[in-house]
Structure 1
C-alpha cells in the first residue's frame, strides 16, 4: 500500500464507523477487540491478535508477519435485559423496538504493515456502549401516581475509536508501541423521573438552575421526563469528539513465553451536546414540554492498566492470562447534565453513580490443527457500578463471560469466528434517586464476531 492509498484509506475510516453498539461487558467497554481476542476471554497483551492489537497492546503489532494485513469484520450483539418492579411484580422488557437499538452490530476495519523492526496500523473499532429499549408502556414510564405517561424509556451510548498505532523493536527481546485515537461518542436517552426521584435529587442538592422554582410552582408535579434521541444508525441525540490513546510494551522472556504490559489513557472527550426536551408531568395541568439544548459534561472512558503473559506449550498450543485494572472511580462519580430551555432558563442535574475501580482476569487458550485453530476463554470482572445506584436504562452489570472461536487459514488470509456469552447477572436497587420503586434488573448477552483478514 503506497502513501496515497494509505491516506485515502485513513480518510474513509470515519465514514465506515459503527452502526450500532450494544451493552458492553466491562461496564461500557467491550470485553475484547477482534475475534481472536474475544474467543480467548479478551486476552490480548502478549500474543498476536491480528490488526485489533492496536486497541489493546500496540506493541503486539510487531508479532505479525512481514507485509500488510487488511481486516474487515462485524460484531453482532444480542442483549437480554429485563427490569422487574418488586412492589407490583410488573416486568419491563428491553426489546428491539427501534432500528437503532438491538440486535446491535458494529463493523470494524483495520490495516497494518510490518516492516523490518517496526509496524504501523490504522483502523476503526467500536470501543463500547450501552443500550436499552423499554418502550413507552412499562412501569418505567409511569409518573409518581403510578399512572402511564406514554413517554419513552430507552437509551443508547456509542463509543467509536479510530486509532493510529506504531510499534518498534528496541531489541530482539523488547518491543514498544503506542497509539493515538480519535474518539467519537454519541448518546440517546429517554428517561422518566417520578415525583419521589425528583424530590430526592432536590433534597440531596443535586438540582439547581432558574427552571427549578418554575417546576416547583406547578400545582401537582408528578414527574419529569428528559428526552434527547435520534432514531438513526449512527447519529445520536447528543454527541462529541475527543481523543485517547495507549502505550504498550512486549518482552520476549523466552523463546516460548511473552510478557505484555499496556496502559490505556483516560479519554479527553468534549461535552456531549444536542437538542432535548424536558417534559413536566402534572396531574392538574397535564404535560408541559420545554424544548432546548442538552449538555452532558465531562463524560469519559477511564484509564486502564493491563498485564499479560502468553506461553507456547508447543508449536500448536498457546495459553494466555491477562489481569487488568480499570479506573472507573476517577471518571464516573456523577452524570452531570445541563439543560437550557429555548424560552429561557436552565436546569442543572447531577445523577449519582460512584463507580468502583474494576479488576478483570481473563484466561484463554488456542490449539492449532493443520489450517484450523480452536480457541476457548473465560473472563471475570469485579462489579463497578453500585447496585443501589443502578439506572434501569443504563445496565452495566455483566461480569462473567465464556467464549469460544475458530479460525481457518487460507494461506493468503484467514477467516476468524468467535462467540461469547455473558452469564445472567441480577442486580437489585431499592434506593432513590435512581430507582422510582424497588427494582431488580436481569442482564445476559450473546456476542458473535466474524472477520476476514487478507495478507499481502
Structure 2
C-alpha cells in the first residue's frame, strides 16, 4: 500500500508551504502592503512615504515623517486559475488520456495591514507594522478527475515588523528593522482507485476515493532589513533597501494513506533588494515613481529535513520592474496609475496545476480622498495578467499534462491619519 503514497509526508508538507513564501515570490505571492501602493503597482513604494506603510519596504523612509502617522487597511486577492488542454492518465483508475480541464480553481482572501510611525525627535523615528506576505486559496472540487494534483491548498502568513530610522542630515537617512514571520496552512489531496469488491471469480470493480494527505502545518522565523534614503529636495528622492529572509522551520501534522505522522522541514526563504525613486515635476501636479526589485530565489535549490534532502529544485532569481504616475488634483483628491512586469521564479522542472506560476503583468489604478489635511481614505485596484504555461506532473502510476493560466484581481482600501 505504500506505493500508493505518491508523495512522502515531508514532501506534502513542503508542497503546501511552497505557497506561503514571501512577497514577490512565485505561486501567486502578491504584494498587499497598502492600497496606495497597489494603485501605482508599487512603483516607488520604498521612498514616496505618503503614509506609514512605507516602512514595509524601506525603514529609512520613516525619517520623512514629522508627525505620528497611522495607517490601516485590507486587500482582497481573488485568484483566477484555469487548467485547459489537460489530459490525465491513471493506472489505478483505468483512465487513459481523459480530459482534466478545470474552469477556475482560484479563491478569494482578505489580507489586513496596520502601521504606526512615531518620530522621537528630529533625528530618530520608530515604527511597527503588521501585515501579510501572502493570502490565497486554490481549490479543485471533489469530482475533479486528477484530484491528487489539484485538491485544496490554503495558506496565510503574517509578519510583525519593528524598525528604527536615523536622519544624518537634510539629504541622508538610514534605517533598520527585524521581521517576525509566521505562517499557517492546510493541504488536502486524494486519489481515485478502482478496487475489486466482489468474489475473485466475478470481479466487481468500483471506484474508491483514497485520502492521500490532510496536512496542517505552521512555521516561524526571524529576518532583518536595512535601508537608505536620499532626498535631493522635496520633489526628488531615492531609496534602497535590503531584506534578509529567515530559514523557516515548519512543523506539520499529516493524516493520509500511510497513516498519521509529524514532520519538520527547513525552508530557505529568499532575500530581496528594492530600489525606488520619486520625482515630482516642479510647479505641476504630476509626479512619476519607479521601482526595481531583485529576489534571490536561487537559495531555494532544495528542501531538507533534519535527516535528509526531500527534493531538489531549479528556481531562478527574479526581477520586477514597475512604473507609476501620480496626479495631485487638489488638496482633497489624488489619482494614481501604474504598471509592473513581474518575473516568475519556477523553472521548467517545477510547475504544478495547484500553484501555477508565470511571468505576470500588473495594470493598476487608485484614488485617495483627504477629508482633512491630516487624514486620507485610499483605494487601489490591480488586474494581474499571467501567461499560459505548460505543466507536466507524474508519479509512478498517474500523470497529467496541461496548460495553466493564473490571473488575479486585487483591490485594497486604507485609512491613514497623522497626529
TM range, smaller chain: 0.7 to 0.9
How far is the alpha carbon of 1:130 from its aligned partner? 4.6
User: CA-to-partner distance for each residue in 1:208-248, whole Å, 9 max, x for gaps?
Assistant: xxxxxxxxxxxxxx99864234xxxxxxx100221112100
Counterpart in the other structure of 1:127:
133
Quickly say closer, same or farther: Cα 1:157–1:124, change in 2 above 3 A. same
Counterpart in the other structure of 2:11:
none
> How do 1:88-127 residues align onto structure 2 when only pairs under 5 Å count?
88-95=98-105, 102-114=107-119, 115-127=121-133
Counterpart in the other structure of 1:156:
154
Q: TM-score, normalised by structure 1?
A: 0.74
Whether the aligned pair in 1 keeps the contact of 2:179 and 2:222 (CA below 8 Å) is: yes
Counterpart in the other structure of 2:277:
309
Cα distance between partner residues in 1 of 2:24 and 2:271: 16
Counterpart in the other structure of 1:56:
57
SS in 2 for 1:329: helix
1:169 maps to which of 167, 170, 177 = 167
Counterpart in the other structure of 2:310:
350
Whether the aligned pair in 1 keeps the contact of 2:108 and 2:136 (CA below 8 Å) is: no
Higher strand share: 2
Cα distance between partner residues in 1 of 2:50 and 2:221: 26
Counterpart in the other structure of 2:246:
267
Whether the aligned pair in 2 keeps the contact of 1:24 and 1:129 (CA below 8 Å) is: no
Whether the aligned pair in 1 keeps the contact of 2:146 and 2:400 (CA below 8 Å) is: no
How far is the alpha carbon of 1:140 from its aligned partner? 2.2
Determine whether 1:327 maps to 2:296.
yes
How far is the alpha carbon of 1:303 from its aligned partner? 0.2
Cα distance between partner residues in 2 of 1:155 and 1:313: 46
Determine whether 1:405 maps to 2:363.
no
Cα distance between partner residues in 2 of 1:400 and 1:26: 14
Quickly say closer, same or farther: Cα 1:69–1:46, change in 2 above 3 A. closer
SS in 1 for 2:164: strand
Determine whether 1:449 maps to 2:418.
no
Structure 2 alignment gaps of length 5 or more: 1-18, 88-96, 194-207
Counterpart in the other structure of 1:342:
none
Cα distance between partner residues in 1 of 2:22 and 2:115: 23
2:254 maps to which of 245, 265, 276 = 276
Whether the aligned pair in 2 keeps the contact of 1:47 and 1:63 (CA below 8 Å) is: no
Cα RMSD, aligned residues only: 3.0
2:403 maps to which of 440, 445, 456 = 440
Quickly say closer, same or farther: Cα 1:268–1:348, change in 2 above 3 A. closer
Determine whether 1:71 maps to 2:81.
no
Whether the aligned pair in 2 keeps the contact of 1:35 and 1:450 (CA below 8 Å) is: yes
Cα distance between partner residues in 2 of 1:418 and 1:113: 25
Higher relative contact order (CA 8 A, sep 6+): 2
How far is the alpha carbon of 1:26 from its aligned partner? 4.0
User: CA-to-partner distance for each residue in 1:54-97, whole Å, 9 max, x for gaps?
Assistant: 11011112223x2212222111111111223244333134447x
Cα distance between partner residues in 1 of 2:395 and 2:267: 20
User: CA-to-partner distance for each residue in 1:235-267, whole Å, 9 max, x for gaps?
Assistant: xx1002211121000011345321111001122
Whether the aligned pair in 1 keeps the contact of 2:314 and 2:349 (CA below 8 Å) is: no
Quickly say closer, same or farther: Cα 1:191–1:349, change in 2 above 3 A. farther
2:184 maps to which of 172, 183, 186 = 186
How far is the alpha carbon of 1:31 from its aligned partner? 3.1
Quickly say closer, same or farther: Cα 1:192–1:49, change in 2 above 3 A. farther
User: CA-to-partner distance for each residue in 1:269-327, whole Å, 9 max, x for gaps?
Assistant: 2x211321131xxxxxxxxx5112133x2224310111122111135222111111100
**Greater shift after overlay, 412-421 or 36-45?**
36-45
Higher helix share: 1
Cα distance between partner residues in 1 of 2:132 and 2:413: 14
Structure 1 alignment gaps of length 5 or more: 1-19, 97-101, 144-151, 196-221, 230-236, 280-288, 339-346
Counterpart in the other structure of 2:204:
none
SS in 1 for 2:68: strand
Cα distance between partner residues in 2 of 1:226 and 1:294: 16
Quickly say closer, same or farther: Cα 1:69–1:21, change in 2 above 3 A. farther
Whether the aligned pair in 2 keeps the contact of 1:37 and 1:49 (CA below 8 Å) is: no
Q: TM-score, normalised by structure 2?
A: 0.80
1:420 maps to which of 363, 382, 398 = 382
Whether the aligned pair in 1 keeps the contact of 2:343 and 2:359 (CA below 8 Å) is: no
